[in-house]
Structure formats: structure tokens, C-alpha cells
A = this chain, B = another copy of it.
Amino acid sequence: MRKPIGVFDSGIGGLTVAKEIMNILPNEDIVYFGDTARVPYGNKSKETIKKFSLQISRFLETKDVKAIVIACNTASAFALQAVRENFNIPIIGVISPGARAAVSATRNNKIGIIGTEGTVSSGAYSKEITSIKEGTEIFSTPCPLFVPIAEEGWSEKKVSYMIAEEYLENMKTLGVDTLVMGCTHYPLLNKVVQDVMGDKVKLINPAKETALELLDRLTEMDLKNDEDVKGEYKYYVSDNSSKFIEVGERFLNREIDNILEIDIEKY
């Protein structure tokens, strides 16, 4: 079936998820929405994130999407259920694919989670991991400075190492062997985090796992596009698009040429 897949995030971070979908499902069309007027979501409440996520899903519905991917950890943690209850199409979040990958990667049953304050305080990863495998030891810590460092392009600077050491010290002491990068911006800091944690620790990027879960769900429900075409990509944002385009093209490694600004508060 040729209908687009809706993908949304608080801003540009979810493009790391869109990129994996483009790789794994190259003939699917994508409608991406980045909530740049209200970014970030990580320090806002559950009720606010639910409201924003429902507004965005109503907007994506007007684009006749056949599935929605919530490409934001905080929104997946707070709003996945509410969106599922209100829309009768497959809704995929990033938490459960990331949790499954972490459980399958760990050898010593000690898993670390890093993310925004919202994602960490929601306990969503812990609940999901425990429901897959009881008895797993889970340690989680919010890293609020990681997003602005990634957006500043400071990932290789010495201060970023100091900040990562500050945030990850306990994680190292506790001896986790698997660390979930539970925020879509964090893959940009992969090198710093890997260097600080040491090369024996496996970093999990939920983006790829999410794209694979989407593939499964579309196959299962017979919703895949069987036409032999290249997927088309449309981008929508709630605030001005120049920074989105500049940083987004770096995230996607691809040109962003079809982008529109909309008033999300109307939905």
C-alpha cells in the first residue's frame, strides 16, 4: 500500500530514526514532523508531552499516514499509549525496540540507561526491560547537557569528555556492560560515551531497532509499499526551518528540499 509513514520528534533528533527507516525501507514515503517551536520535550511534564503528541498525530492523520513512528524517547515514554488509544493505525515507539536490543546484548545482566530527565524519570526503559527479563539490574541517569553539546557540535572537545565523565562515573562503577543511548541526539556523542565507558561496554542505539520493528509490523499487517519506487520525503516543522535544514542534513547525510512550516497549535 503506497501511503506515507509518519515520523515525529520534538525537533531534529528523530531524523536519526528516519535515516534508519530510509535505509531499511527505501521504497516507503515518509512525512516527518519536528516540533521546533516547542523543543525540547525532555524537561516537560507527561500531560504536556501527551497533548503535544496527540496534536502532532492529528496533523499526521491529515497526511493520510499508514503508521506513526514516535521517534523521540520522551514522547514514547509519556505518550505512546495515549496515541495508540486515539488512532487506529500501527504506532511504534523507540523504547520497546531499544529495551529488547539491550536485553539481548547484555551478558552480566547490568544495563545502563541514559536520556533526558523526562525519559529517565518515567522509568519506561526499566519497566520494559524488566517485563522482558526479570532480575535484570538497571541503572539510569539523566544527562541534560548532552543535547546542547551535540547541537553546539562540541562532541570532540575536552569539556564534553569532562561532562561525560561527570554523568557516567556511577555507571562505570556499577559495571554495566550495555548502555542504552535513550535520547535521539546521543548517537552524535557515541565516540565520547564509548571512550568514557571503555570499549567493553556495548552502546545500544534504539533508532535501528525501531526501523526493524516498523518493517515487521508493516509486513505482518500487509501494509508495505510493493511498488518498485524510491520513497519520497516531506518535512514539516513548527518553527523556522533554516537551523533544521542545516543540522538535519548533517544528521541525515542527505539533502532536505521539501520542507514546510505549519502552526501545530491548530491541530
Which chain A residues have a beta carbon within 8 Å of chain B's beta carbons?
A: 36-39, 43-45, 47-48, 144-145, 148-149, 151-152, 157-159, 162-163, 166, 238-240, 243, 265
Contact of A240 among B45, B157, B265 (CB under 8 A): B45
Evaluate whether A159 and B148 lie within 8 angstroms (CB atoms) in the complex, with A37-B38, A43-B243 already known: no
Q: Does A48 lie within 8 Å of B239, measured CB to CB? A: yes
Contact of A145 among B36, B39, B148, B238 (CB under 8 A): B148
Q: Once bound together, how far apart are the Cα atoms of A142 and B39, in whole Å?
A: 19
16 examples of A-B residue contacts, CB within 8 angstroms: A37-B38, A37-B44, A37-B48, A38-B38, A43-B243, A45-B240, A47-B240, A48-B238, A48-B240, A144-B152, A145-B145, A145-B149, A159-B159, A159-B162, A159-B166, A162-B162
Q: A187: shortest Cβ distance to chain B, in Å?
A: 19
Closest 6 CB pairs of A and B: A45-B240, A48-B239, A159-B162, A265-B265, A38-B38, A37-B48
- List of B residues within 8 angstroms of A38 by Cβ: 37-38
- List of B residues within 8 angstroms of A47 by Cβ: 240
Q: A156: shortest Cβ distance to chain B, in Å?
A: 13
- List of B residues within 8 angstroms of A37 by Cβ: 38, 44, 48
Supply 4 further A-B pairs (C-beta < 8 A) apart from A38-B38, A145-B145: A36-B44, A37-B48, A47-B240, A265-B265
Q: Once bound together, how far apart are the Cα atoms of A69 and B36, in whole Å?
A: 26
- Max chain B C-beta neighbours (<10 A), residue from A44, A47, A157: A44
Q: Once bound together, how far apart are the Cα atoms of A38 and B145, in whole Å?
A: 18
Chain B, residue nearest A241 (CB): B45
- List of B residues within 8 angstroms of A158 by Cβ: 162
Q: Once bound together, how far apart are the Cα atoms of A240 and B47, in whole Å?
A: 8
- Max chain B C-beta neighbours (<10 A), residue from A39, A145, A149: A145
- List of B residues within 8 angstroms of A162 by Cβ: 158-159, 162
- List of B residues within 8 angstroms of A45 by Cβ: 239-240
Q: Does B239 lie within 8 Å of A44, measured CB to CB? A: yes
Q: Once bound together, how far apart are the Cα atoms of A44 and B258, in whole Å?
A: 21
- List of B residues within 8 angstroms of A265 by Cβ: 265
Q: A263: shortest Cβ distance to chain B, in Å?
A: 9
Chain B, residue nearest A35 (CB): B38
Chain B, residue nearest A159 (CB): B162
